[in-house]
């Protein structure tokens, strides 16, 4: 029987929670069977781009299948093996998530308007010295960024309450020819009927990856003062997941996550925020 850690699976997330020891998981998937669930609630992921709208999290599907080694888990296709009782390794393909900031469903009819760097401009005072205008360019005014396919390898070490993982990802379609590497730690605790999972990670993203999505050049604007060649960056993430079963199908769940973006990304004229927050609170149902 292959297994998966269910707390992370009801969320659109930069981190995939793959199969590992049954005694640590909320849901065990029988081999060659589908697992289908859905979460309903209120949440959003902030968008760091200039004039970028928050990404709504309202209805979140969860679909997975695990065979003896092959698996599909919420858009990730992979092959997994377990060389030791407390170690798993998988190779996988999945859509690169970076472009989600550039093209997504408009949430204006669901969420309250958010303030961008172009909102709330004061009326100029002729008696004040002239200030240099900020170096910003709107996401609506740049060239399109393409989707890419990630090819990666991940190794997990775990015990009853802790999990460490290392992930390496490369651009499989040569869209940007970049790569990223992530180290992650997760700790699980229980209190009464609640399960809590705290996690911390650090991700290195190469200059080729960051520059393709957040660099500014003649493809975007003729204004040379806005051109920007991005460097590599480190991004740090911390978060909390919590879950309480109501019965065999329904459970309360929630997530709070905070990610710092790093100067290689935030120095871009396209980026107006130094961090991204991701929150969701609601109920989940498993079929």
pLDDT in tens, 253-264: 999 999 999 999
For residues 217-232, average pLDDT: 93
Which of 34-38, 40-44, 138-142, 252-256 shows the lowest mean pLDDT across its residues? 34-38
Nearest to 213 by CA among 114, 118, 139: 139
In a domain, 139, yes or no: yes
Whether 4 is covered by a domain: the verdict is no
Instruction: Please report, to the nearest 10 degrees, the dihedral formed by the alpha carbons of residues 261, 263, 267, 272 taken in order.
Output: 30
- Quote the pLDDT of residue 67: 86
Tokens 């309360």 sit on residue: 252
Kindly report the number of other CB atoms within 10 A of residue 155's CB atom: 14
| Whether pLDDT at 15 is above 70 | no
Instruction: Give the total number of structural domains in the chain.
Output: 1
pLDDT band at residue 145 using 50, 70 and 90 as cut-offs: very high
Q: Is the pTM of this model over 0.95?
A: no
Q: Are 193 and 252 in contact (CB under 8 A)?
A: no
Q: Is residue 16 part of a domain?
A: no
Query: Computed over its alpha carbons, how large is the radius of gyration of the chain?
Result: 21
**Residue 237 counted as domain residue:** yes
Q: Choose between 9 and 234: higher pLDDT.
A: 234
pLDDT tens for 189-217 read 999 999 999 999 999 999 999 999 999 99
Mean pLDDT (the chain) is 81
- Among left, alpha and beta (phi > 0; psi -120 to 50; other), residue 177 is left
pLDDT the model gives residue 29: 65
DSSP label at residue 104: -
Read off the pLDDT of each residue in 89-100 and give the average, rounded to a whole number. 92
Q: CATH number of the domain at 154, please.
A: 2.40.230
Q: What is the pLDDT of residues 116-137, one digit of tens each?
A: 333 333 444 555 555 555 678 9
- pLDDT attached to residue 4: 42
What's the DSSP call for residue 30? P
| Percent share of the chain, pLDDT over 90 | 57
Q: Is the pLDDT of residue 19 over 60?
A: no
47 in any annotated domain: yes
Residue 13 within a domain = no
pLDDT at 166 over 80: yes
- For residue 78, tell me if it sits in a domain: no
Q: Look at residue 128 in the predicted model and tell me its pLDDT.
A: 53
Judge contact between 31 and 1, C-beta under 8 A: yes
**Is the confidence at residue 279, as pLDDT, over 50?**
yes
Range of 154's domain?
35-62+84-113+135-286
């Amino acid at each position: 029987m292959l297994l998966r850690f269910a707390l992370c699976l009801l969320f659109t997330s930069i981190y995939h929670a793959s199969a590992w020891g049954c005694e640590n998981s909320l849901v065990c998937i029988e081999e060659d069977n589908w697992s289908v669930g859905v979460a309903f609630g209120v949440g959003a992921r902030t968008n760091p781009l200039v004039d970028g709208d928050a990404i709504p999290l309202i209805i979140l599907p969860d679909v997975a299948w695990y065979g003896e080694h092959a698996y599909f888990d919420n858009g990730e296709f992979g092959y997994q093996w377990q060389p030791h009782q407390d170690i798993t390794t998988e190779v996988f393909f999945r859509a690169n998530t970076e472009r989600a900031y550039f093209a997504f469903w408009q949430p204006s009819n669901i969420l309250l308007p958010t303030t961008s760097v172009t909102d709330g401009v004061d009326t100029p005072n002729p008696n004040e010295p002239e200030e240099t205008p900020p170096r910003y360019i709107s996401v609506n005014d740049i060239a399109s960024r393409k989707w890419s396919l990630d090819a990666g390898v991940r190794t997990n070490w775990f015990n009853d309450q802790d999990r460490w993982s290392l992930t390496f990802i490369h651009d499989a379609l040569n869209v940007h020819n970049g790569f990223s590497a992530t180290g992650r730690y997760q700790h699980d605790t229980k209190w009464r009927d609640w399960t809590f999972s705290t996690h911390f990670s650090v991700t290195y993203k190469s200059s080729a990856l960051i520059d393709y999505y957040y660099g500014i050049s003649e493809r975007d604007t003729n204004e040379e003062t806005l051109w920007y060649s991005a460097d590599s960056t480190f991004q740090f993430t911390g978060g909390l997941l919590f879950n309480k079963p109501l019965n065999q199908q329904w459970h309360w769940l929630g997530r709070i996550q905070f990610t710092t973006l790093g100067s290689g990304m935030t120095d871009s004229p396209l980026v107006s925020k130094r961090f991204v927050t991701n929150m969701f609170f609601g109920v989940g149902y498993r079929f």
